[in-house]
Amino acid sequence: MASMDNVCDITIFGGHGDLAFRKLMPALYHLSNDGYLSFSSRIITVARNDITNDEHIELVRSKLIEFIGESVFNQEKFERFKSQLHVVTIDFDDEKSYKGLKELLGAFPSRERVNYLSTAPDFFATICKMLKNWDLVTDVSRVVLEKPIGRDLESSRAINSEVLKYFEEKQIYRIDHYLGKDTVQNIMALRFSNRIFMPLWDANNIDHVQITVAESVGVEGRWGYYDQYGAMRDMIQNHLMQLLCLIAMEPPCSLDADSVRDEKVKVLRSLRPMSAADIERKTVRAQYAKGSIDGQPVPGYREGEGMEHSNTETFAALRVDIDNWRWNGVPFYLRSGKRMHQRNSEIVIQFKSVPHSIFANQGSGISQNKLVISLQPKESIQLKLMNKVPGLSDQMRLQQVDLELNSRINSTRKSDAYERLLLDVIRSNPTLFMRLDEVEAAWKWADVILAGWAENIIPMKSYQAGTDGPSASIQLVVQDGVSWNDE
Ligand code: BG6
């Protein structure tokens, strides 16, 4: 059991939305049961429609069962958890409707407060303003903003500057849930606690890096949202960029939030801006057409609700160059797509070949070493090495073998990224959250590509649902003599 000293009031705006039920409530349920959140803490759901406390509790119960599974749900634990649940109804634009929240929070005026804005970004400013007007923002208040923050640099700046009128930067937690994934945090451990990687982690030794986040799911009913954003804004500008930062950053001087974030922002500022010719040569955008996944027919993106004329990309692939000493000449290939043949997120660090092979006349080639960090569906880290095939053969035959770097403890329940991140907000630790300058640097780089796409510098390609994306994505790497790690 962890320490129970984290007493705070957590208010979830958009508390009856998909994210709240799918991720936030299960995370809080586990944090509370595992002793990371004191039982005196309150979880206040902000609903948009009238609902009684009892109805709300029943709704939370059924959604918990749906999302964590009947076998994990524990009624006895829920009996205790439910006493932490409260609900208020608020119409975000109607100042008077915040009265109930004021009464609830006012009962413990000096308590730590977390305001989780699980709403569309259009509401961020209004909600923060109303909280301020009702005197609900204190020195120990925090606000959590769900991504995406804006659609480009300009809109992101507008949203952030509004929120900054009511909360200080140190009170703002911009979430990118990829940073809460255990394997993603493990990248730092791997890089900065193992001497063996230190001399190898640069352009002298690394040929290229691949970052893939492939999903077999589609937009999961979020047509209105997704069609405005697409793969570049929904995944590349944030999740994949953060992964790239963790791979490419210099060692921070400590684990404190600003040291880590200073190093990440340097990477983002070193991304080579793309010219029109670069966009043509180094980027691919595509939309899925009908196909099949796991033997089940899947309709095309344009067959979705109101999507007949949509020109939104559901797949993006890019070659990214980082202009600094460490990475000069090392391409980072990024790709992400929906409705691909399987869920697979991984980072591949491909090392250069040995300078000279003494095995050339032994009938075996030498494959380049690879470090493969798999994030999902399975979490694993493998180092691919060459090894002798055992036996008495005249020739020294070689084979590639995997060195499994992590023997993770599998017996305990694996915590979700949102548990880690919510706990960090509760403990006021912003290390795994994006600072304003990071978000802006990522947008600044992505905006150029998005503008080029809007001008149709490259055509929108199509790929069949259930495949690895369009052939142009293969061409993107093949033109550099590389192939995707699709083992
Ligand atoms: C979200 C995106 O941020 O991440 C979704 O909005 C995407 O479109 C999801 O499906 C992927 O997260 P995970 O953790 O399932 O890889």
Q: Whose CA is nearest to atom 4 of ligand 1?
A: 235
Please give the angle made by the CA atoms of 377, 378 and 381, to the nearest 5 degrees. Answer: 135
Residue 91 and residue 97: Cα distance in Å, rounded? 6
One of 239, 309, 341, 356 is an active-site residue; which one?
239
Helix, strand, coil % over all residues of the chain, rounded to 5: 40, 20, 40
Residue 363 and residue 205: Cα distance in Å, rounded? 25
Please give the angle made by the CA atoms of 156, 105 and 160, to the nearest 5 degrees. Answer: 10
The best mutation among 234, 336, 434 to test binding of ligand 1, ranked by most ligand atoms within 8 Å of the C-beta, falls on 234
Residue 61 and residue 41: Cα distance in Å, rounded? 18
Nearest ligand 1 atom to alpha carbon 226? 8
Is-catalytic flag, 239?
Answer: yes
The best mutation among 151, 239, 374, 376 to test binding of ligand 1, ranked by most ligand atoms within 8 Å of the C-beta, falls on 239
Ligand 1 center–CA 328 separation, angstroms? 31
Ligand 1 center–CA 135 separation, angstroms? 34
Nearest ligand 1 atom to alpha carbon 178? 14
Q: Whose CA is nearest to atom 15 of ligand 1?
A: 215
Which residues, other chains included, contact 349 with Cβ-Cβ below 8 Å and sequence gap of 6+? Answer: 206, 209, 247, 370, 371, 372, 373
**Mean pLDDT of each 10-residue bin along the chain, 487 residues long:** 72 96 97 93 96 97 96 96 97 96 95 96 94 96 93 96 96 96 92 95 98 95 92 97 98 96 98 97 98 95 94 98 98 98 96 92 86 92 94 88 74 83 96 96 97 97 97 97 89
Residues within a 6 A CB radius of ligand 1: 215, 234
pLDDT tens digit sequence for 406-458:
655 455 678 899 999 999 999 999 999 999 999 999 999 999 999 999 999 99
What is the pLDDT at residue 393?
A: 85
Residue 178 and residue 467: Cα distance in Å, rounded? 24
What is the pLDDT at residue 8?
A: 95
**Residue 155 amino acid letter:** S
Q: In what order do the strands lie in the sheet with 344-351?
A: 398-404, 380-388, 370-376, 344-351, 206-214, 332-337, 315-320, 283-289, 461-464
- Length of the chain counted residue by residue: 487
- Sign of the Cα torsion 150, 153, 158, 162 reads positive
Describe the crossing of helices 153-166 and 436-454 by its angle, rounded to 10 degrees.
Answer: 150
pLDDT tens digit sequence for 151-179:
999 999 999 999 999 999 999 999 999 99
Ligand 1 center–CA 53 separation, angstroms? 31
pLDDT tens digit sequence for 32-87:
999 999 999 999 999 999 999 999 999 999 999 999 999 999 999 999 999 999 99
CB of 146 closer than 8 Å to CB of 124: no
Ligand 1 center–CA 236 separation, angstroms? 11
What is the pLDDT at residue 388?
A: 92
Q: Whose CA is nearest to atom 14 of ligand 1?
A: 178
Domain ranges for the chain, please list them.
Answer: 9-146, 179-417+435-478
Ligand 1 center–CA 468 separation, angstroms? 18
The best mutation among 215, 228, 418 to test binding of ligand 1, ranked by most ligand atoms within 8 Å of the C-beta, falls on 215
Please say whether the structural domain 9-146 has been given the CATH code 2.60.40.1170. no
CB of 151 closer than 8 Å to CB of 124: no
CB of 97 closer than 8 Å to CB of 91: yes
Secondary-structure class of domain 179-417+435-478 per CATH: alpha beta
Q: Give the predicted TM-score (pTM) of the model.
A: 0.94
What is the pLDDT at residue 407?
A: 59
